[in-house]
Amino acid sequence: MINQEIKSYFPILNQEINGNPLVYLDSAATSQKPVQVIEALENYYKFDNSNVHRGVHTLGNRATEKYEGAREKVQKFINAESAEEIIFLRGTTTAINLVAQSYGRANVGEGDEIVITYMEHHSNIIPWQQLAKERGAILKYIELEEDGTISLEQVQAAVTERTKIVSMVYVSNVLGTMNPVKEVARIAHENGAVMVMDGAQAAPHLKIDVQQLDCDFFAFSGHKMVGPTGIGALYGKKALLNEMEPVEFGGEMIDFVGLYDSTWKELPWKFEGGTPIIAGAVGMGAAIDFLNEIGLNEIEKHEHEMAKIAMEKMGGIEGLEIYGPKDPAKRAGIVTFNLNDVHPHDVATVLDMSGIAVRAGHHCAQPLMKWLEVSSTARASFYLYNGESDIDRLVEGLRSAKEYFNDVF
């Protein structure tokens, strides 16, 4: 159940900012962390810290068990077939870069196509730009519909037999749009391409089933789903990962090392060069336990509800424009907007003075800003610890911002 009690697990939310109780509406950038996650990190360092996969001593074994235990939690969380398909990395950006540099370099050649969309985060654009430049491949963008959604007709038109990779965001970090990624994966596969999903904004909010989505790769970050920063995961289908070469070489990832040649460990460790992000993985595991306790279906329902209420109440403010799908059922708890005549930075500063944290800027999505024909926007994003009273505070803050700027003008 989502209720006010949940908020009490997040110590950071219990403070005043600029003399007002904090309302945190920037979870799409990073979520806050519950005591359960903070304690898991603390306990790991207090009682279990050691390096993994080596040594005979007890702490080494305990750390290894915790680290690999976290991998199994991630596996179950997204319903991967086996834990070998889960690679711990720094986050979504690193995960997509790994796919581009390993799978991409080996499989994309001159004249081949990589297909993405106008609503991608920079982390799902630039790795492909670099790959396309290096391989002489063509980077294609799927156009968006008027309401900021993707139509399968456009996908059909863009994906051809020359397409080797289709990469798409599941939930847009700006528009909140939930994309029909499963259907897109089918189209990709019909054309012999692999499907990469950027799940950074999806994993915290929806039940993910990679087998049912039939994606080839799924990338996501721990810090957006109440876990610590610096940890994320890449899911890949075992057959593909087995074929792929590592991109980072060194300790941890090797089997035999000779003077001039070496061999790699099995999956997933061949992709985890160097001492892994052990505490981060443990924290991510604790985050998953926390989310499971509440239930992803409950969280998703709550966010649709928040989006619906926010759009209704914010829609009542004259001169406020909301971007993305008008239908709350088509979007997650992300509401990006602009207030007439007041620049988003100025909006964010006024809100901050009222204790309300929102994001202002281009949200790491410059091509999308261009498509929206704006240079920047303000964004309120909701998570399980937000309630209707937070939306009321936001609306009140926005009205004050409007008044303030009308007065000073």
Q: Which residues in this chain contact other proteins in the complex, by CB under 8 A?
A: 18, 343-346, 349-350, 352-354, 360-362, 366, 369, 375-376, 396, 400, 404, 408-409
* Residues annotated as catalytic (active site), given as ranges: 364
Nearer to other proteins, 54 or 345 (CB): 345
Nearer to other proteins, 102 or 376 (CB): 376
Tracing tokens 């799908």 back to the chain, one arrives at: 325
How many other C-beta atoms can be found within 10 angstroms of the C-beta atom of residue 45? 12
Dihedral of CA atoms 194, 197, 198, 201 in degrees, nearest 10, equals 180
Dihedral of CA atoms 340, 344, 346, 350 in degrees, nearest 10, equals 90
Nearer to other proteins, 256 or 409 (CB): 409
Least separation in angstroms between CB 370 and other proteins: 10
Q: Is the link from the previous residue into 204 a cis peptide, with omega within 30 of 0?
A: no
Nearer to other proteins, 242 or 349 (CB): 349
Nearer to other proteins, 329 or 408 (CB): 408
Least separation in angstroms between CB 131 and other proteins: 22
CB 221 within 8 A of CB 170: no
Cα separation, 313 vs 387, in Å, equals: 13
Least separation in angstroms between CB 223 and other proteins: 18
Nearer to other proteins, 278 or 360 (CB): 360
Angle between helices 388-408 and 344-353 (to 10 degrees): 120
Cα separation, 168 vs 180, in Å, equals: 10
Residues near 167 by Cβ (< 8 Å), separated by ≥ 6?
96, 99, 114, 115, 116, 120, 124, 128, 195, 196, 197, 198
**364-370 long-range contacts, Cβ below 8 Å, gap at least 24?**
364/121, 364/122, 364/123, 364/173, 365/119, 365/120, 365/121, 365/122, 365/173, 365/174, 366/122, 367/118, 367/120, 367/125, 367/141, 368/118, 368/119, 368/120, 368/172, 368/174, 368/175
SS3 of 281-309: the string is HHHHHHHHHHHHHHCHHHHHHHHHHHHHH
Least separation in angstroms between CB 313 and other proteins: 17
Nearer to other proteins, 204 or 344 (CB): 344
* 95 three-class SS: helix
CB 144 within 8 A of CB 119: yes
Angle between helices 35-43 and 278-294 (to 10 degrees): 150
Nearer to other proteins, 301 or 345 (CB): 345
Least separation in angstroms between CB 374 and other proteins: 9
Cα separation, 215 vs 156, in Å, equals: 17
